[in-house]
C-alpha cells in the first residue's frame, strides 16, 4: 500500500547501520550526518557500524527506541537485515543504495543532500511492504520469525533431491487444511512480492508488484515440468513437512534444519514494514533500469 498522506509527526533523530566494507564509507556517513544536521536531526550510529567509522556508537536496541526513522547504507540485503531486526519497533526505513541492484534502496549517494531536504519538508511517501511470518514449532515450543524477501526450503547437499509436502488453509475454507502439492526437486521458494525480483525471479517465478498482498510459491528445479509457480491470496496459510534432509533459509540470513521442527507454517504477518521513498519513485522505472527492459 502507498500512503502519500502518511507523515511522521516530526523527525528529530535517525538511526544508521552500514554494510560492512562499503566503499567510501566515511564520506557517505559524513554527507548524511551533515545533511541531517542542517535540519537539526540527530544521527545515532549502531555500535558495529560506528566501529567501522571509528566513532562512538550506541546500542542497537537504544537506537531503535530513540530514532524516529532508520537509515541503511548498503544494498538491499543491508536494508532487509535492518528491517528484520527493527520489525517490532515499527520505525520507517530509508535505504541509501551503496550496493548494485537496489530494488529496495532507491536513494543514491549523490542524492543524499537533496532527499534529506525533501524529507525535512514532508516531500516523501511511505510504502507499506508486507512480510512473511514463519512459525517453527517443536511440541509446544514455537519460534516466530519474519521474512521481507523470502523463505527457501533447500537440499543441504549438491547431490540428490528432496520432497516437500505443502498444505494450505484459508478463511473461506474455515481454516481446513488441505494437501496442496508435493514438490520434488531442489527445493521451494516462498516469496513476498518485494522478494519476487530476488531468488524467485532467478528461479523462474513471477514478478509481483511489491505492494500486492500475496504468497508466491516457486519450485526450485522441479523433477516434473508440470510443477509451476503459484500465487496465493493474502488470507492463505501454508504448512510444510518433509521426511528428507532439508534446510530453511530466511532472507538468506538465518538457516534452520527442517527436521528440527514438527510444524512449519508460513502466512502474511499482521504488520508490514514501512519504507520511505521519493514521491517520484516508480517501480516500473526501477524494473526497466535493473532488468534492461525495452533496451535493444
- Closest among 143, 151, 162, 165 to 255, alpha carbons compared: 151
Walking along the chain (296 residues) 10 residues at a time, the average pLDDT comes out as: 72 94 85 97 96 94 97 94 96 90 86 96 94 94 96 88 94 81 96 96 95 96 92 95 94 95 94 94 86 76
Task: Map residue 30 onto helix, strand or coil.
Answer: helix
> Which residues are known catalytic residues?
76
pLDDT value for 101: 66
Task: Map residue 114 onto helix, strand or coil.
Answer: helix
Q: What span, in angstroms and rounded, lies between the C-alpha atoms of 82 and 78?
A: 6
pLDDT value for 294: 76
Give the CATH architecture of domain 132-268: Sandwich (2.60)
Q: What span, in angstroms and rounded, lies between the C-alpha atoms of 158 and 244?
A: 14
pLDDT digits (tens, 9 = 90+) for 103-132: 898 899 999 999 999 999 999 999 999 999
Q: Which three cell numbers stand for residue 203?
A: 528461479
Domain 2-130+272-290 falls in which CATH fold?
A: Rossmann fold (3.40.50)
pLDDT digits (tens, 9 = 90+) for 130-149: 999 999 999 889 999 999 99
| Beta strands at 13-18 and 42-45: parallel, antiparallel or unpaired | parallel
Query: Where along the chain do its domains lie?
Result: 2-130+272-290, 132-268
- Using a 10 angstrom Cβ sphere, with 0-12 exposed, 13-18 middle and 19 or more buried, the burial of residue 135 is middle
DSSP state of 207: P
Give the chain's mean pLDDT: 92
Residue bearing cell 522478494: 195
pLDDT value for 110: 92
Q: Which three cell numbers stand for residue 150?
A: 523470502
Amino acid at each position: 500500500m502507498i500512503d502519500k498522506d502518511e507523515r511522521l509527526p516530526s523527525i528529530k533523530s535517525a538511526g544508521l547501520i552500514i554494510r560492512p566494507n562499503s566503499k567510501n564509507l566515511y564520506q557517505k556517513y559524513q554527507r548524511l550526518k551533515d545533511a541531517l544536521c542542517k535540519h537539526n536531526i540527530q544521527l545515532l550510529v549502531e555500535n558495529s557500524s560506528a566501529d567501522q567509522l571509528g566513532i562512538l556508537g550506541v546500542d542497537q536496541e537504544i537506537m531503535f527506541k530513540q530514532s524516529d526513522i532508520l537509515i541503511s547504507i548498503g544494498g538491499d540485503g543491508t536494508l532487509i537485515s535492518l528491517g528484520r531486526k527493527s520489525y517490532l519497533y515499527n520505525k520507517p526505513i530509508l535505504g541509501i543504495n551503496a550496493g548494485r541492484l537496489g530494488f529496495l534502496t532507491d536513494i543514491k549517494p549523490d542524492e543524499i543532500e537533496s532527499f534529506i531536504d525533501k524529507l525535512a519538508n514532508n516531500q516523501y511517501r511511505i510504502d507499506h511492504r508486507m512480510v512473511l511470518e514463519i512459525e517453527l514449532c517443536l511440541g509446544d515450543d514455537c519460534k516466530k520469525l519474519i521474512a521481507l524477501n523470502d523463505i527457501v526450503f533447500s537440499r543441504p547437499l549438491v547431490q540428490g533431491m528432496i520432497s516437500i509436502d505443502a498444505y494450505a488453509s484459508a478463511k473461506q475454507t474455515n481454516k481446513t487444511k488441505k494437501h496442496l502439492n508435493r514438490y520434488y526437486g531442489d527445493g521451494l521458494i516462498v516469496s513476498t512480492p518485494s522478494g519476487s525480483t530476488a531468488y524467485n525471479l532467478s528461479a523462474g517465478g513471477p514478478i509481483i508488484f511489491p505492494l500486492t498482498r500475496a504468497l508466491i510459491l516457486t519450485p526450485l528445479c522441479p523433477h516434473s515440468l508440470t510443477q509451476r509457480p503459484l500465487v496465493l491470496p493474502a488470507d492463505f496459510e501454508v504448512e510444510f513437512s518433509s521426511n528428507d534432509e532439508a534446510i530453511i533459509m530466511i532472507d538468506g540470513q538465518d538457516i534452520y534444519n527442517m527436521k528440527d521442527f514438527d510444524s512449519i507454517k508460513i502466512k502474511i504477518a499482521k504488520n508490514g514494514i514501512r519504507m520511505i521513498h521519493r514521491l517520484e519513485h516508480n517501480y516500473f522505472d526501477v524494473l526497466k533500469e535493473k532488468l534492461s527492459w525495452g533496451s535493444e
